[in-house]
Structure 1
Amino acid sequence: MSTERRLRPPGLAYGGDYNPEQWPEEVWAQDMALMREAGVTMVSVGIFSWALLEPSEGVYDFSRMDKILDLLHENGIAADLATPTAAPPAWFFHAHPEALPVDSDGRRLSYGSRQTFCPSSPAYRTAALRIAGALAERYADHPAVVMWHVHNEYGCHNSACYCDTSAAAFRKWLKAKYDNDLDALNEAWGTAFWSQWYHDWEEILPPRATGADPNPTHRLDWRRFCSDELLSLFTAERDVIRRAAPGTPATTNFMVMHNFDALDYWRWAPELDVVSNDHYLRSTDPESEIDVALCGDLVRSLAGGPWLLMEHSTGAVNWQPVNRAKNPGEMRRNALAHVAHGADGIAYFQWRAAKAGAEQWHSAMLPHAGTDSQIWQDVVQLGADLRALAEVRGSTSPAQVAIVWDWNARWAMEQPCQPSAELRFQDLVRHWYAPLWEAGVAVDFIHPDTPDLDRYRLVLAPSLYLVDDAGTANLTAFVERGGTLAVGFHSGAVDENCHIRLGGYPGAFRELLGVHCDELFPLLPGVQVALTGQVPQDATADLWTERLRLTGAEAVARYADGPLADVPAITRHAYGNGTAWYIATHPDPTTLAALLERIRRQAGVRPEREVPPGIEVVKRRGTDADYLFLIDHAGRGAEIPADGVELLTGKPVVGSVTVPEGSVAVVREPLPGPSAE
Structure 2
Amino acid sequence: MTPRRLPAFAAAILAAALSTSTTCATAQLPNTILFGAAYYDEYSPVDRLEQDVAMMQAANITVVRIAESTWGTLERQEGVFDFTHVDRMLAAMHKAGIKVIVGTPTYAIPTWLARAHPDVLVERPNGKAPYGPRQNMDITNPEYRKAAERVIVALVDHVKDHPAVIGYQLDNETKAYDTSGPNVQAAFQQWLHKRFPDLDQLNHAFGLNYWSNRINRWEDFPSVNGSINASLSSAFAEFQRELVTDFLGWQADLVRKHARQGQFVTQNFDLDWKDASYGVQPVVDHFAAAAKLDIAGVDIYHPGQDKLTGAEIAFGGDLTRSMKGNRNYLLLETQAMGFPHWTPYPGQLRLQAYSHIASGANTVEYWHWGTTANAIETYWRGLLAQDYQSNPTYEEAKQIGAELRQLGPKLVDLHKQNRVAFYVSNRALTGYNAFKPAGNAGYNDVLRPLYDALYRMNVEADFVHPGTEDLSRYKLIVVPALYAASDAEIAKLNAFAKAGGHVLYTFKSGFSDENVKVRYATQPGGISEAAGVRYTQFTNPDHVALAGDPYKVGKDANQARWWMELLTPTTAQVVARYQHPVWGKYAAVTRNAYGAGEVTYVGFMPTDALAGKILEETVKRAGLWGPQQTLRYPLVVRSGVLNNGRAVHYLFNYSAEAVTARNPFGAGVDLLTGRGIAAGAGVGLGPWGVVVLEDGNRAWASATRPDADECAMRPHYVHNDRSAMR
* Structure 1 and Structure 2 fold alike (TM over 0.5): yes
Task: Write the distance in 1 (CA, Å) between the matches of 2:392 and 2:698.
Answer: 42
Task: Write the distance in 2 (CA, Å) between the matches of 1:533 and 1:396.
Answer: 40
Partner of 2:202: 185
Question: CA-to-partner distance for each residue in 1:311-346, whole Å, 9 max, x for gaps?
Answer: 1111233xxxx8443333222222211111111110
2:123 matched to 1:102? Answer: yes
Task: Write the distance in 2 (CA, Å) between the matches of 1:129 and 1:305.
Answer: 30
Tell me which of 359, 362, 365 is aligned to 2:383. 365
Partner of 1:115: 135
Partner of 2:163: 143
Q: How does 1:189-208 map to 2 (within 5 A)?
A: 189-208=206-225
2:316 matched to 1:295? Answer: yes
RMSD between superposed Cα atoms in Å: 2.3
2:104 matched to 1:83? Answer: yes
2:457 matched to 1:435? Answer: no
Partner of 2:625: 606
Partner of 1:310: 332
2:57 matched to 1:39? Answer: no
Partner of 1:473: 491
Question: CA-to-partner distance for each residue in 1:357-385, whole Å, 9 max, x for gaps?
Answer: 21111110122243331111122122123
Between 1 and 2, higher relative CO (CA 8 Å, sep ≥ 6) is seen in: 2
Moved more, 501-510 or 165-174: 165-174
Q: How does 1:339-354 map to 2 (within 5 A)?
A: 339-354=357-372
2:593 matched to 1:574? Answer: yes
Q: How does 1:156-305 map to 2 (within 5 A)?
A: 159-178=177-196, 180-208=197-225, 210=226, 214-245=228-259, 246-256=261-271, 257-258=277-278, 260-282=281-303, 286=307, 288-303=309-324, 304-305=326-327
Find the residue that maps to 1:543 and give its secondary structure: strand
Task: Write the distance in 1 (CA, Å) between the matches of 2:50 and 2:35.
Answer: 19
The answer to whether the 8 A contact 2:185-2:223 is kept is yes
What amino acid sits opposite 1:307 in the alignment? Y
What amino acid sits opposite 2:250 in the alignment? A
Task: Write the distance in 2 (CA, Å) between the matches of 1:669 and 1:2.
Answer: 38
Moved more, 571-580 or 663-672: 663-672
2:490 matched to 1:464? Answer: no
Find the residue that maps to 1:581 and give its secondary structure: strand
Cα distance change of structure 1 residues 253 and 575 upon mapping to structure 2, 3 Å threshold: same
Cα distance change of structure 1 residues 36 and 523 upon mapping to structure 2, 3 Å threshold: same
What amino acid sits opposite 2:26 in the alignment? R
* Cα deviation, residue 103, structure 1: 2.4
What amino acid sits opposite 1:328 in the alignment? P
Gaps in structure 2 of 5+ consecutive residues: 1-21, 272-276, 702-726
Task: Write the distance in 1 (CA, Å) between the matches of 2:239 and 2:582.
Answer: 42
Cα distance change of structure 1 residues 42 and 673 upon mapping to structure 2, 3 Å threshold: closer
Cα distance change of structure 1 residues 671 and 473 upon mapping to structure 2, 3 Å threshold: farther
* Cα deviation, residue 243, structure 1: 1.0
The answer to whether the 8 A contact 1:554-1:573 is kept is yes
Partner of 1:563: 582
2:675 matched to 1:651? Answer: yes
* Cα deviation, residue 582, structure 1: 0.6
Partner of 1:529: 545
* Cα deviation, residue 10, structure 1: 2.5
Q: How does 1:656-675 map to 2 (within 5 A)?
A: 656=681, 657-670=683-696, 672=698
* Cα deviation, residue 537, structure 1: 6.1
* Cα deviation, residue 449, structure 1: 4.4
Partner of 2:722: none
Cα distance change of structure 1 residues 130 and 188 upon mapping to structure 2, 3 Å threshold: farther
Question: CA-to-partner distance for each residue in 1:180-237, whole Å, 9 max, x for gaps?
Answer: 44333333322111111223434334432x4xx6210111111111111122111111
Partner of 1:62: 83
Task: Write the distance in 1 (CA, Å) between the matches of 2:627 and 2:189.
Answer: 50
* Cα deviation, residue 175, structure 1: 3.2
Question: CA-to-partner distance for each residue in 1:486-542, whole Å, 9 max, x for gaps?
Answer: 111111111100011122221220111011101111225xx3423337432643322
Task: Write the distance in 2 (CA, Å) between the matches of 1:283 and 1:668.
Answer: 28
Task: Write the distance in 2 (CA, Å) between the matches of 1:586 and 1:495.
Answer: 22
Task: Write the distance in 2 (CA, Å) between the matches of 1:674 and 1:565.
Answer: 51
Task: Write the distance in 2 (CA, Å) between the matches of 1:613 and 1:127.
Answer: 50
Partner of 2:351: 333
Task: Write the distance in 2 (CA, Å) between the matches of 1:343 and 1:608.
Answer: 24
What amino acid sits opposite 1:102 in the alignment? E
Tell me which of 502, 520, 527 is aligned to 2:538. 520
Moved more, 34-43 or 598-607: 598-607
Task: Write the distance in 2 (CA, Å) between the matches of 1:268 and 1:67.
Answer: 33
Q: How does 1:495-644 map to 2 (within 5 A)?
A: 495-523=513-541, 527-532=543-548, 534-536=550-552, 538=554, 539-609=558-628, 610-622=630-642, 623-634=644-655, 635-641=657-663, 642=665, 643-644=667-668
Cα distance change of structure 1 residues 104 and 336 upon mapping to structure 2, 3 Å threshold: same
Task: Write the distance in 1 (CA, Å) between the matches of 2:233 and 2:46.
Answer: 49
* Cα deviation, residue 433, structure 1: 1.6
What amino acid sits opposite 1:308 in the alignment? L
The answer to whether the 8 A contact 1:120-1:165 is kept is no
Number of paired residues?
Answer: 661
Moved more, 198-207 or 51-60: 198-207
The answer to whether the 8 A contact 2:577-2:589 is kept is yes
* Cα deviation, residue 7, structure 1: 4.0
* Cα deviation, residue 117, structure 1: 0.5
Cα distance change of structure 1 residues 423 and 555 upon mapping to structure 2, 3 Å threshold: same
The answer to whether the 8 A contact 2:544-2:578 is kept is no
Cα distance change of structure 1 residues 9 and 149 upon mapping to structure 2, 3 Å threshold: same
The answer to whether the 8 A contact 1:608-1:619 is kept is no
The answer to whether the 8 A contact 2:37-2:63 is kept is yes
The answer to whether the 8 A contact 1:102-1:161 is kept is yes
* Cα deviation, residue 247, structure 1: 2.9
Moved more, 568-577 or 297-306: 297-306
* Cα deviation, residue 410, structure 1: 0.8
Task: Write the distance in 1 (CA, Å) between the matches of 2:282 and 2:306.
Answer: 18
* Cα deviation, residue 249, structure 1: 0.9
What amino acid sits opposite 2:146 in the alignment? T
What amino acid sits opposite 2:101 in the alignment? D
Moved more, 271-280 or 158-167: 158-167
Cα distance change of structure 1 residues 5 and 560 upon mapping to structure 2, 3 Å threshold: same
The answer to whether the 8 A contact 2:532-2:571 is kept is yes
What amino acid sits opposite 1:530 in the alignment? L
Task: Write the distance in 1 (CA, Å) between the matches of 2:604 and 2:305.
Answer: 26
* Cα deviation, residue 284, structure 1: 11
Gaps in structure 1 of 5+ consecutive residues: none
The answer to whether the 8 A contact 2:305-2:341 is kept is no
The answer to whether the 8 A contact 2:298-2:331 is kept is yes
What amino acid sits opposite 1:26 in the alignment? D
* Cα deviation, residue 167, structure 1: 1.8
What amino acid sits opposite 1:64 in the alignment? H
Task: Write the distance in 2 (CA, Å) between the matches of 1:473 and 1:368.
Answer: 56
The answer to whether the 8 A contact 1:624-1:671 is kept is no
The answer to whether the 8 A contact 1:50-1:89 is kept is yes
